[in-house]
Structure 1
């Protein structure tokens, strides 16, 4: 069974994608940035954006019936290599014990204010 999850971001509607897709026992969370989707604002610091992106991912996972502890893979995209290391404490706080497989890519993001984008894949313990 396939189920679509939206964060309410206008980008999903305008571009044509979902924040997350549940397909069987897998949850695919699309590239998530540090936007606060309720206010459509973004803080300037990479650490704050990293933390907000993870909280946005956690919200999508919760709607799918999963949590951060179910994440098996992460993909990080940062435009500036110097922004990667400041994110480590944030990532360790959220994923230090979970330790999912992960990859980092350096690439441009949709806007200059975006400092990090995170994609996640999780596996449901009990399919929804």
Structure 2
């Protein structure tokens, strides 16, 4: 059985998909663009975009009743691999020890011409994963 996760604290889906799905003890978020859910605007620089994408991910996790400590795997899509160090600096402010596994790939283009998109897989175990 699957459960759709939806929050107004993250941007609404821009297509026929859910912000996240919880199934079999796991939470799978859709890729989160750096759209501010309050304004519908996207920051211009890559650091601000990375921060907003992660804020959106964390809002979805909060709605699911978990936090960043439950994240097992992240996937970061970036427009320019040259921005990796900048994105990494922002990323490390959201995750601490016991970092999740991560993939980071450069892509030709992202929806709405974003510079960053981030998705995660998390456990819905309400206790911290060690």
TM-score when normalising by structure 2:
0.87
Identify unmatched segments of 5+ residues in structure 2. none
Which protein is richer in strand relative to its size?
Answer: 1
Q: Which residue of 1 aligns with 2:88?
A: 88
SS at match of 1:53: helix
Alignment of 1:7-26 (within 5 A): 7-8=7-8, 9-10=11-12, 12=13, 14-26=14-26
Q: Deviations over 1:77-120 (max 9, x none)?
A: 001112211111111111131310100111110122x1100010
List structure 1 segments (4+ residues) > 2 angstroms apart after TM superposition. Answer: 6-10
Give the Cα separation in 1 of the matches to 2:39 and 2:79. 24
Name 1:39's counterpart in structure 2.
Answer: 39
- Asked whether the 8 Å contact 2:72–2:122 carries over to 1, the reply is yes
Q: CA offset at residue 7 of structure 1?
A: 4.0
Q: Classify the secondary structure of the residue corresponding to 1:32.
A: coil
TM-score by length of 1: 0.89
Gaps of 5+ in 1: none
Q: Distance in 1 between matches of 2:39 and 2:101?
A: 32
Q: Distance in 1 between matches of 2:79 and 2:89?
A: 19
Aligned length: 124
Instruction: Spell out, residue by residue over 1:19-60, the C-alpha distance to the aligned partner (whole angstroms, 9 max, x if none).
Output: 111113100011001110121101101111111111111110
Q: Aligned partners of 2:17, 2:98: CA distance in 1, in Å?
A: 28
The match for 2:100 is 100
